[in-house]
Amino acid sequence: MADQQALDEVVRFTSDLIRIDTTNRGGGDCQERPAAEYAAEQLAGAGLEPLMLERTEGRTNVVARIEGTDPSADAVLIHGHLDVVPAEAADWSVHPFSGEVRDGVVWGRGAVDMKNMDAMILAVVRSWARQGLRPRRDLVIAFTADEEASAEDGSGFLADEHPELFEGCTEGISESGAFTFHDGAGRQIYPIGAGERGTGWLKLTANGRAGHGSKVNKENAVTRLAAAVTRIGEHEWPLRLTPTVRAALAELAALYGIETDLSDVDGLLEKLGPAAKLVEATVRNSANPTMLQAGYKLNVIPGEAVAYVDGRYLPGGEDEFRATLDLLTGPDVDWEFSHREVALQAPVDSPTYAGMRAAVEEFAPEGHVVPYCMSGGTDAKQFSRLGITGYGFAPLKLPEGFDYQALFHGVDERVPVEALHFGVRVLDRFLRTA
C-alpha cells in the first residue's frame, strides 16, 4: 500500500516537473534533459540504476528496471513522456510553468499531459523502496523525450537503438486512461485505453502554372489545392467498428440498459448521451485540414500550394484511408505522409486488463470501468515495434465538472491533489499484483 510520503511526494514531483519547462515546439526545439535528470535522481533515490540516453544532445530519455519476484513472468513497461506542448502565459490564470498548488489543485502545463503520471510512477517506486516491496513481474520504467512531436528522439530512438532494455516486456501502460468521466446523470465511468487510431499526418501539394493575378488561369495551384482540401474536409467517412469499440459500445449500452444495436451506431450513440464522447471519435477514420501555405504576393498566382491534414485511421483501416485520400485529392494534387504511425489494438479479455479494472474498482467502487480506443496516439505506437501491447492507464479520480479531456493541450491545465493520490494508490495496487 502506498504510504503517506508517496502521497506527499506525488504532489511535489508533479509541481517540480511542471516548473521545468520542456516545451516541444517541434523541429527539435526542446530540451528534456533537466526533467530527465530530475527523474533519474528520484529513481536513484529508490535504489535503482537509471540510464540516461540521447539520440540528440539535450533530448534525454531515462530507463530503469525493477526485478520482479517471479522471474518466469513476462515484464511490463510503464512509460511517460517528459515534454509538453507550448503554452501562452497571457492566456492562463496562473503562469503555465509555475507548478502552483492552490485550493487543492496543481496548476501548469503538463499537469494532465503527462507530468502527473511521471510523478505517480516516481512516487510509487520510491514507496516500494522504503517498504522493501517488489512487483511480481519485472517492471521497466521509461521516461521519454519528443512524444509531442515525432518521437524520433524518444520512444522511437529507444525502440530502434536500445531494444535490449525492454527484453521480456510484453505489455505496457501509459497515458490517457482510467480517469473519471462524469456522464451528467450521476454515473462515474473509467475508460481504460485498449487501442489507438493510427497517425497519418499528410502534406498535400498542388502544382500549377504561375502567372499574373489579373490573367485567366485554369491551372491555378491555389484553386486546385482549395478544391482538394474542401473535399477532404467535407468527406463523411463510413462507420468501421473495431473489436475495442464494439466492446466499449456493448459495455456502455449495458450500463444504460440500452440494446446494443450495431446496425444503427449513430442512433446508439445518441441514446448514450454524454457518454458517447468516449467512442464517437473512434468509429470512423478522419482527416482534418489544419494548415495552408501558398503564394508570396497578392497579384502573383503561385506555381505551388501546400496544405497539411491531420489524418487518423482505425486499426485495419489504413488501406481504406490511403485509397480514399487518392480519390479526394484527385489528379492535380499529390499527397504524402509527413508523419505516419501504426494503429493499435489491445485485448480487453487479458489478465492485465482485468488487473487494471480490479485496481480501479478497489479505490472507486462506485465507478464503471469500460474499454475505449484513443482517438490520438501515444508512445505505445513506437514501443509496439518491440511486440509490446499498449494500454492507456494513468488513473485519476476527478470531481464532476472537471473536463479532463479539454485540458489536454488546453489553457489552465491542472490536476486535483486528490486525483494524484488516487492515481498513486491505483498504480501501486496494479503494478504490485499485475
Whether residue 370 contacts residue 248, with contact meaning beta carbons closer than 8 Å, is answered with: yes
Look up 70 and say whether it is catalytic.
no
pLDDT, the chain, mean: 97
| 3-class DSSP assignment, residue 387 | coil
The β-bridge partners of 333 are 206
* pLDDT number for residue 406: 86
Residues 135 and 205 in one domain: no
Residues 303 and 407 in one domain: no
The one catalytic residue in 9, 32, 83, 113 is: 83
Angle at 370 between CA 366 and CA 372, to 5 degrees: 145
| Residue 60, domain member (yes or no) | yes
We report the CATH number of the domain holding residue 317 as 3.30.70.360
| Residue 187, domain member (yes or no) | no
Distance CA(32)–CA(22), nearest Å, equals 5
The one catalytic residue in 32, 113, 146, 147 is: 147
Assign residue 28 a region (left: φ > 0; alpha: ψ between -120 and 50; beta: otherwise).
left
Residues 229 and 300 in one domain: yes
Residues 163 and 230 in one domain: no
Do you find a cis peptide bond into 117, omega within 30 degrees of 0?
no
| Residue 248, domain member (yes or no) | no
* pLDDT number for residue 2: 83
Question: Which pTM value belongs to this model?
Answer: 0.94
Q: What is the mean pLDDT of residues 245-272?
A: 95
Cα–Cα nearest to 325, from 373, 370, 285, 362:
285
Task: Determine how β-strand 181-182 pairs with β-strand 286-294.
Answer: unpaired
* pLDDT number for residue 350: 97
pLDDT digits (tens, 9 = 90+) for 387-413: 999 999 999 999 999 988 888 899 999
Distance CA(56)–CA(330), nearest Å, equals 39
Residues 144 and 14 in one domain: yes
| Residue 182, domain member (yes or no) | no
Residues 220 and 165 in one domain: no
Query: What DSSP state is assigned to residue 98?
Result: S
Q: How many CB atoms lie within 10 A of CB 310?
A: 16
Residues 167 and 32 in one domain: yes
Residues 213 and 301 in one domain: yes
Look up 152 and say whether it is catalytic.
no
Cα–Cα nearest to 154, from 378, 304, 346, 343:
378
75, HSE (Cβ side, Cα atoms, 13 Å): 20
Question: Looking at the predicted structure, is the pLDDT value of residue 283 above 90?
Answer: yes
Instruction: Give me the count of residues in the chain.
Output: 434
**Which of residues 341, 362, 388 is at a domain's end?**
341
How would you class 356 by CB atoms within 10 Å of its CB: exposed for 0-12, middle for 13-18, buried for 19 or more?
A: buried
**Which of residues 341, 360, 387 is at a domain's end?**
341
C-alpha torsion 64→66→70→71, nearest 10: 50
- Give me the domain span that covers residue 227: 198-240+284-341
Residues 129 and 46 in one domain: yes
Q: Read off the pLDDT band of 232 (50, 70, 90).
A: very high
| Residue 117, domain member (yes or no) | yes
Residues 56 and 167 in one domain: yes
We report the CATH number of the domain holding residue 88 as 3.40.630.10
Whether residue 255 contacts residue 332, with contact meaning beta carbons closer than 8 Å, is answered with: no
| Residue 270, domain member (yes or no) | no
Distance CA(202)–CA(324), nearest Å, equals 13
Residues 231 and 157 in one domain: no
pLDDT digits (tens, 9 = 90+) for 331-376: 999 999 999 999 999 999 999 999 999 999 999 999 999 999 999 8
* pLDDT number for residue 407: 87
Question: Looking at the predicted structure, is the pLDDT value of residue 230 above 90?
Answer: yes
The helices-and-strands tally (H runs, E runs) of the chain is: 12, 19
Residues 168 and 309 in one domain: no
Structural domains of the chain, count: 2
| Residue 47, domain member (yes or no) | yes
Query: What DSSP state is assigned to residue 283?
Result: S
Cα–Cα nearest to 109, from 173, 14, 10, 174:
14
| Residue 186, domain member (yes or no) | no
C-alpha cell at 20: 521545468
